[in-house]
């Protein structure tokens, strides 16, 4: 359900938005273990709620947007004894709860000055994560506070420069003795506990600079850093993975050359880019454990013996270069609008040059978008193709192909004008042909979904 109620005045606008996603049909959890006949996991509850209040103040030379938001996630993952998903009597069964709450505020002031435009952002979010591995287990708690400030100066179609500073303050760990006393810092220390981690605050400084040579060609360079999420730092996957609160931010330096033009009625744009990422975050194998007995680990020999599954940990694995080309073409003929987006990317592992492979990285992507207006009716369809990618299989330890997939989305809306009231009825169908696909081995993506709604403007 998605509900928005707003009111426009002469110089400001107020709005309240509420979104709720509630799925109790038993979403599949992790299917990797099915191949060994060991895992029968299912998300029996998957709920997401979002609430926000928006205020926009504006006049001829100023626009300020205020947003207060609260997000809540509540998921239940159940492990069953067999493929019937009807009993939880064996030692490998569990009832695990994941509860996450975020509260924050965002302020975006924009000013039109005499010779330039100035945009700023002030952002703060307090995030608390709670989880219980099984009924009767203590609740584990993790928290983080993120704050940032940024400003962009736009010298009217010639130079655009931006700078931002962000901090992430980590809260105390509650009821997780494993991450406090049995912490593994390095993948080379297979099965060996390290010292207690130090929860240092994370700090990021980002910048961007864009220069326009003329109305068609521009060059940009930027540095963007991404904080590790609470999930990446603390998710132990019910004891089968090791947490890593010592994760650093990913650091990306991006250089791009852009060109826009037209060929008759066809408008197009292209971009060539190089993206260098340092301290990239990814899962690595740090040990093995017995999935049947729950012993973790069974030994420290670094070998995946019969009956053992791998233990993974998120780590900063090194430096990578991503280069690519993106092309966007748009054409309108009467009431028909056609759009084509193409992208090709290649990746290079600079830390380990012996392999040029990057897990879960698709080189090709194509999107075709078509829409048509017929009176008060609008029909739109989108076809998305994502090429092959590869991933190291957890069971074999070998690079394994993740096949390409094509998704079709269909959108329809109908406008009804009644005096000063505009009523819009819409139907959105995602993955219309119910394509069975996955982007990570053992974790299938959502099938067909249908959203029916109504928008009313007074």
In a domain, 2, yes or no: yes
- Rounded distance between C-alpha atoms, residue 272 and residue 16, angstroms: 40
Mapping DSSP to helix (H, G, I), strand (E, B) and coil, where does residue 304 land? coil
pLDDT at 31: 53
In a domain, 270, yes or no: no
Q: Which helix (H) or strand (E) holds 217?
A: strand 217-226
- Rounded distance between C-alpha atoms, residue 408 and residue 448, angstroms: 10
DSSP symbol at 35: G
Q: Describe the chain by its helix, strand, coil percentages, rounded to 5.
A: 5, 60, 35
- Rounded distance between C-alpha atoms, residue 169 and residue 176, angstroms: 19
pLDDT at 177: 54
Cβ neighbors of 301 (< 8 A, separation 6 or more) are: none
Q: Name residues of the chain where pLDDT drops below 70.
A: 24-39, 175-199, 236-240, 287-310, 394-396, 418-421, 458
- Rounded distance between C-alpha atoms, residue 291 and residue 35, angstroms: 13
361: cis peptide before it, omega within 30°? no
Q: Quick one: how far is CA 239 from the chain centroid?
A: 24
Q: Where are the beta strands (DSSP E) in 113-157?
A: 117-132, 140-154
pLDDT at 226: 93
Tokens 């994370």 — which residue?
202
In a domain, 21, yes or no: yes
pLDDT digits (tens, 9 = 90+) for 221-233: 999 999 998 888 8
In a domain, 55, yes or no: yes
pLDDT at 191: 41
Mapping DSSP to helix (H, G, I), strand (E, B) and coil, where does residue 234 land? helix
In a domain, 380, yes or no: no
- Rounded distance between C-alpha atoms, residue 123 and residue 165, angstroms: 11
In a domain, 75, yes or no: yes
pLDDT at 197: 56
pLDDT at 393: 76
Q: How many domains does one find in the chain?
A: 1
Cβ neighbors of 136 (< 8 A, separation 6 or more) are: none
In a domain, 292, yes or no: no
Domain that holds residue 35: 1-111
DSSP symbol at 55: E
In a domain, 171, yes or no: no
Q: Are 123 and 206 in contact (CB under 8 A)?
A: no
Degrees (nearest 5) of the Cα angle 404, 409, 415?
A: 165
Token couple for 28 = 């599949």
pLDDT at 258: 97
Smallest CA-to-CA distance from 115 within 61, 162, 70, 76 is with 61
């Amino acid at each position: 359900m998605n509900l928005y109620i707003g009111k426009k005045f002469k110089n400001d606008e107020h709005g309240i938005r509420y979104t709720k996603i509630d799925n109790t049909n038993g979403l599949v959890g992790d299917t990797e273990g099915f191949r060994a006949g060991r895992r029968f996991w299912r998300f029996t509850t998957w709920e997401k709620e979002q609430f926000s209040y928006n205020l926009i103040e504006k006049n001829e030379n100023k626009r300020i947007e205020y947003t207060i938001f609260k997000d809540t996630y509540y998921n239940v993952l159940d492990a069953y004894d067999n493929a019937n998903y009807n009993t939880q009597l064996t030692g490998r069964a569990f009832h695990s709860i994941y509860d996450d709450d975020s509260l924050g505020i965002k302020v975006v002031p924009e000013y039109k000055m005499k010779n330039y435009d100035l945009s700023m952002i002030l952002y703060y979010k307090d995030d608390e994560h709670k989880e219980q591995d099984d009924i009767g287990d203590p609740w584990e708690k993790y928290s983080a506070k993120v704050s940032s400030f940024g400003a962009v100066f736009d010298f009217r179609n010639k130079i655009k420069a931006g700078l931002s500073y962000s901090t992430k303050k980590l809260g105390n760990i509650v009821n997780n003795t494993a991450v406090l006393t049995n912490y593994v810092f390095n993948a080379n220390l297979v099965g060996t506990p390290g010292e207690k981690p130090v929860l240092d605050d994370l700090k990021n400084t980002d910048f961007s600079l864009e220069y326009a040579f003329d109305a068609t060609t521009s060059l940009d360079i930027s540095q963007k850093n991404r904080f590790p999420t609470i999930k990446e730092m603390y998710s132990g996957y019910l004891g089968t993975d090791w947490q890593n609160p010592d994760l650093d931010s990913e650091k990306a330096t991006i250089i791009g050359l852009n060109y826009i033009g037209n060929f008759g009625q066809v408008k197009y744009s292209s971009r060539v880019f190089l993206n260098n990422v340092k301290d990239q975050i990814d899962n690595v194998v740090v040990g093995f454990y017995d999935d049947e007995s729950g012993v973790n680990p069974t030994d420290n020999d670094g070998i995946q013996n019969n009956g053992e599954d791998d233990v993974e940990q998120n780590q900063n694995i090194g430096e990578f270069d991503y280069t690519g080309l993106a092309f966007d073409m748009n054409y309108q003929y009467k009431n028909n609008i056609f759009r084509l987006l193409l992208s090709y990317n290649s990746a290079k592992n600079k830390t380990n040059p012996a392999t040029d492979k990057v897990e879960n990285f698709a080189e090709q992507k194509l999107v075709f978008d078509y829409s048509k207006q017929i009176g008060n009716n609008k029909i739109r369809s989108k076809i998305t193709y994502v090429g092959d990618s590869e991933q190291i299989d957890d069971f074999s330890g070998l690079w394994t192909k993740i096949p390409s997939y094509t998704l079709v989305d269909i959108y329809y809306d109908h406008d009804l004008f009644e005096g000063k009231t505009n009523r819009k009825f819409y139907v959105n169908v995602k993955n219309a042909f119910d394509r069975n696909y996955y982007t990570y081995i053992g974790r299938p993506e959502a099938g067909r979904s249908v959203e029916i709604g109504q928008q009313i403007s007074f």
